[in-house]
Structure 1
Amino acid sequence: MKIKNHIKIGLACLLMITATGCDGFLDEDLKSALSPNNTFTSTYGFELGSAGLYALTRSEYNTYGESGAFMHNGACPYEALQVSTDIVEAINSDGSLMPFANLTVTPDNRFVLSYWNWAYSLIASANEVLIFSEKNNNWDSPTDKVRFQAEARFFRAYAYRTLVYLYGDVPYVETILYDFQLNFTRTPKAEVLGHIVDDLKFAAENLPENADNVKDGKLTKWAALHLLSEMYLMQGENTLAAKSASDVIASGYFELMKTRYGVNKSKPGDVFSDLFIEDNQNRKSGNRESIWVLQFEFNTIGGGTNSDDWTRRAWIPNYSAITGFVLADSLGGRGLGQIIPMKWWVGTKGTNATGDVAGIYDATDIRNSNYNIKRNWYYNNSNEASLYGKKSNITDQTWFSTKSLFPALTKFFYGRSENLSLTGSYRDRMKFRLAETYLLLAEAYIGLGDTQKAADAINEVRKRAGATTITASQVTMDFLLDERIRELVGEDSRRFTLTRTNKMVDRVKMYNTALKDKIQEYHMLWPIPQSIIDSNRDAEFPQNPGYN
């Protein structure tokens, strides 16, 4: 129970200050009750606080709770960062998702506020660790102080990353607010990005370097440099972005996985599918591609719950609603088809859907193999003798009406025979992996106008996939965005990628037929939560354009 207790105690400590607006409470000499003043007094106390930061970060994917560090109180927060882009549609999906899918989101929307609150909860907790670390003199090792500060500054940067992507200009806070404040102002995005970069540079200088010598899920300098590359791209600092990505690639700790590995390496599959098999995400499995892995492991103390990471429910069709099917772990477990892939990129090969579409994959690309995109579905209910073992065809009705059968990404398959109705994915999630680092490097070189080096970086990813290599003349930002779909679809937040590259409106107009005549430039940002504006009575706090 030690890890779980660390998380609970750490969270309670981190949230103590923000849960109370009473400064006097913090002056009491508490001996038996938990507070930052009597917890952040040793390395052990900061270990608890660190566990709380990791738990809060993982709760970005939480839905309804179950002892989560934070909850969005809705079914589809992750999916809200995928819809109204160029990759998926939401049809008759959960009501929490539809305003984002059809561009009718308002300042009163649940996720508009919950993402804001999640980010500032993480920021407040990171600030708490940073401030109390300056007060503490009781460290087990001379390097402990700067290590915990590096973690806290990484997480603060990570939270502000979400805020600037979603809302643009946001208040920048780097202290503990003991009293209610009603006069916040919006810090310009460029200034916030500068603070993010400063935090990540500090983190990169002071987090552990040896990726083989940290616990699963723990940060290293390479995670900080990977994120720093992305933030430099947001700033338009392409040379610095290329340098940070190149440093990760050249570190010697990571490599693209090119041979079969892990728990199913002797079973049918390919190396790309191996990356997403349960227990294959961390380095102990042989995975040297993962840079940072969020820990959601099944039946592990401190691991995932049924309310964590419902990605599988989003991407897997509701096949069990079809007569002749029953839930099966081999079919991905319980899916609901909250979001469905668009034909233009996934293609319709192997189906009888109306209007054959080739998709964006080469014939030799293993990312399009049957091990990675399931297009052939066979009835599996042995009680339906007339159907059992026969193929069930994908049609436009099963794809876009009932959402019961469509090409499905097996990277999100997850089922357990002991409880096939599980909602949570219960599998460690690769947050950063080296394939994306190469694509960030390519993005930087495109910004620098060096299409040959961009092609070289993209080709490293394509060669692993068995796809044909490209030439410098083929490199465009649109090609790179397509490559990010082939490699990273569903793993990254597509909204973030399209916002950073300033391609959201163009790509939606090009590929999203439902929204092409509706999307406008202001849709690149979400509205500021109305409750935030209303509570900020003593200073002007303007709404984002288009949402007034």
Structure 2
Amino acid sequence: MKKILSIAITSVLMLTGCSDFLDEDLKSALSPDNTYTSTHGFEVGVTGLYEFARSEWNTWGGSDNAFTHGAATPYEILQIGTDLAVTGHNDGTLQIFDNLSYTPLTGLINSFWKFGYGLVANANQILEYSEKDVKWDKPTDKIGFQAEARFFRAYGYRYLVYLFGDVPYVDKVEDKFRVDFTRTPKAEVLNKMIEDLEFATANLPEDPDKVMVGRLTKWAAEHMLSEVYLMAGMPDKAEKAALDVINSSKFSLMKNRFGKEKEQAGDVFADMFRENNQNRTSGNMESIWVMQLEYNTTGGGGESDDWTKRAWVPKYWQLDGFVIADSLGGRGLAQLTPLTWWINGENFYDQEDIRNSEYNIKRNWYCNNPESEKYGQKTEITETLWTAGQLCPALTKFFYGVIDRGGDEGYGGNTKDRMKFRLAETYLLLAEARMQQSDLSGAAEAINIVRERAHAKAITADQATVDFLLDERIREMAGEELRRFTLSRLGKLKERTLKYNPRAQMEDKHLLWPIPQDVINSNTGAEFPQNPGWEQ
């Protein structure tokens, strides 16, 4: 499949003149002065932004990765310690986010700071060089590359403001080494993000069928703009942005079976997550932006990208009668086990809701080892097995993505493309925007469009509450959305975590992560206060 290419891009994605806490240690064999002189050079650089952005999932690196977190659970720490999941795996890196015992010295907290600012700084470099003497192939090249760079700058700040609140706003490559950064109020950063996304919306391509697979369009920018408007307390603008995407006629919720396995047992919700079914080229008209992570494919991902498969699949293979099999989700590690209140909640799913079908949540586990006397027998899920992470209901949306490792079946992660933005979430952003404007009938209408596809019962205006919306986002988006971000945006992080998660005794200080201590220590030229409650 033709994808966005990863061509030696990390060599030109480097920073200059920044303080230590904004520094990124990237490959620098090529000079930006020599690279950013033509359309081809900017194509290489912007391609690097796509690779850097998808590194939000990267675990242990790889020879071609622009960034690595150096830990097995980067995406999981933004799901755990909320109302969604706990860990069933004895992983010290993840446990401290499960029980909220992380500190300003925690490695993954520092890693996400570097990820956010690495993306910002590389976007700034492209923007700065685009204003110099460049040999453009077409008059529209300059503004097109600027639109992509500004989208990714906003994308980097999205992580930073959700996690840390007030953060330094940097919109240029610093000429001199600086140790005097100050924290910009979150509201100001959000306004800058809105400016970037409005620019991207106005200047990115409109037709998703005329861009390379995985490339941004104006609709991806407008989807994210809707979310950022909500973060900034502008629900009327958020509603308009969401409606622009919905009414564009470019996308539609998938309601009929599709893909190579459409004749096999299943349903349309499960089809969206099967191998090779994420891009428009497969017939998936719901995807707005798809990150390209397909394994062993030019422009795809590697073995260290996206281990969500391991995270959500239990360690069934430890039990007598089982062997590792990709049909059971591969080598699951139960880094995340769903909280019982929702996945086993008596009334959480409607009876006919396909998102609760066996095709989407595996609840029945049958011994699959043909050499075992238990072969074919059902193993019941018990509280003991669930707590140990050995057997629990599992989200099958993450079962797929197989790596051939010479007989070590199912060892690898989710090496398939990932839908980053899809239309179902746009409808849920629309519902959120209408709730903030007290339009509960309109909110219910938006939610019901998503529920109709799932064969769930329609709700009424009086049922359209923030808590119902958050429940619906679990039903639709569990494991896809960054749950911590959603709860933070809606002001429900502490309330719902305390209500539903017995392990996470959340305090006010946990509403934001601590600023990495290295950041504070290195910024000797100006006061750089720690987030409340994290002062040492």
TM-score, normalised to structure 1's length? Answer: 0.93
One-letter code aligned to 2:38: S
Q: Do the aligned partners of 1:318 and 1:337 also contact (CA within 8 Å) in 2?
A: yes
Q: Do the aligned partners of 1:276 and 1:412 also contact (CA within 8 Å) in 2?
A: yes
Q: Closer, same or farther in 2 for the Cα pair 1:542/1:469, shift >3 Å?
A: same
| Alignment partner, residue 276 of structure 2 | 279
| Mapping for residues 28-39 of structure 1, pairs under 5 Å | 34-39=30-35
Q: Distance in 2 between matches of 1:95 and 1:440?
A: 35
1:136 CA drift (Å): 3.1
| Secondary structure of 2:229's aligned partner | helix
2:476 is aligned, of 487, 499, 503, to 487
1:247 equivalent in alignment to 2:236: no
User: For each residue in 1:427-478, what CA deviation from the matched residue of structure 2 results, as whole angstroms up to 9, or x when unmatched?
Assistant: 1000000000000000000000000000000000000000000111111000
| Secondary structure of 1:14's aligned partner | coil
1:412 is aligned, of 398, 406, 413, to 398
Q: Distance in 1 between matches of 2:80 and 2:460?
A: 32
Q: Distance in 2 between matches of 1:535 and 1:242?
A: 41
1:507 equivalent in alignment to 2:503: no
Q: Do the aligned partners of 1:133 and 1:149 also contact (CA within 8 Å) in 2?
A: yes
One-letter code aligned to 2:202: E
Q: Closer, same or farther in 2 for the Cα pair 1:248/1:167, shift >3 Å?
A: same
| Alignment partner, residue 126 of structure 1 | 123
One-letter code aligned to 1:411: K
| Secondary structure of 2:59's aligned partner | coil
| Alignment partner, residue 175 of structure 2 | 178
| Alignment partner, residue 366 of structure 1 | 354
Q: Distance in 1 between matches of 2:57 and 2:402?
A: 20
1:66 is aligned, of 48, 59, 62, to 62
| Alignment partner, residue 521 of structure 1 | 508
1:343 equivalent in alignment to 2:340: yes
Q: Distance in 1 between matches of 2:89 and 2:41?
A: 47
| Alignment partner, residue 389 of structure 1 | 376
**Alignment gaps of 5+ in structure 1:** 22-31, 348-356
Q: Do the aligned partners of 2:303 and 2:413 also contact (CA within 8 Å) in 1?
A: yes
| Secondary structure of 2:421's aligned partner | strand
Identity of aligned residues (%): 56
One-letter code aligned to 2:56: E
1:91 CA drift (Å): 3.9
| Alignment partner, residue 25 of structure 2 | none
Q: Distance in 1 between matches of 2:286 and 2:466?
A: 24
1:17 CA drift (Å): 3.6
Q: Closer, same or farther in 2 for the Cα pair 1:359/1:77, shift >3 Å?
A: farther
Q: Closer, same or farther in 2 for the Cα pair 1:18/1:49, shift >3 Å?
A: farther
| Secondary structure of 1:135's aligned partner | coil
Q: Distance in 1 between matches of 2:414 and 2:531?
A: 35
| Mapping for residues 258-337 of structure 1, pairs under 5 Å | 258-337=255-334
Q: Do the aligned partners of 1:306 and 1:422 also contact (CA within 8 Å) in 2?
A: no
1:18 CA drift (Å): 6.7
1:126 CA drift (Å): 0.2
1:20 CA drift (Å): 11
1:92 CA drift (Å): 4.2
Q: Closer, same or farther in 2 for the Cα pair 1:490/1:54, shift >3 Å?
A: same
User: For each residue in 1:73-95, what CA deviation from the matched residue of structure 2 results, as whole angstroms up to 9, or x when unmatched?
Assistant: 11111111011100101244311
One-letter code aligned to 1:481: L
1:58 CA drift (Å): 0.6
User: For each residue in 1:331-389, what CA deviation from the matched residue of structure 2 results, as whole angstroms up to 9, or x when unmatched?
Assistant: 11110001100111000xxxxxxxxx4151000000000000000010000011x1001
One-letter code aligned to 1:383: E
Pick 1 or 2: higher relative contact order, CA cutoff 8 A, min separation 6: 2
Q: Distance in 2 between matches of 1:191 and 1:504?
A: 23
1:472 equivalent in alignment to 2:461: yes
1:180 CA drift (Å): 2.0
Q: Do the aligned partners of 1:508 and 1:519 also contact (CA within 8 Å) in 2?
A: yes
Q: Do the aligned partners of 2:294 and 2:417 also contact (CA within 8 Å) in 1?
A: yes
1:496 equivalent in alignment to 2:485: yes
1:540 CA drift (Å): 0.3
One-letter code aligned to 1:249: I
Q: Do the aligned partners of 2:123 and 2:153 also contact (CA within 8 Å) in 1?
A: yes
Q: CA RMSD in A?
A: 1.7
Q: Distance in 2 between matches of 1:18 and 1:400?
A: 49
2:446 is aligned, of 457, 471, 476, to 457
TM-score, normalised to structure 2's length? Answer: 0.95
1:103 CA drift (Å): 1.1
User: For each residue in 1:155-190, what CA deviation from the matched residue of structure 2 results, as whole angstroms up to 9, or x when unmatched?
Assistant: 000000000000000000011123321000000000
Q: Do the aligned partners of 1:18 and 1:124 also contact (CA within 8 Å) in 2?
A: no
1:230 equivalent in alignment to 2:227: yes
427-436 or 66-75, larger mean C-alpha shift: 66-75
Q: Do the aligned partners of 2:317 and 2:324 also contact (CA within 8 Å) in 1?
A: yes
Q: Give the length in aligned residue pairs.
A: 524
1:378 equivalent in alignment to 2:331: no
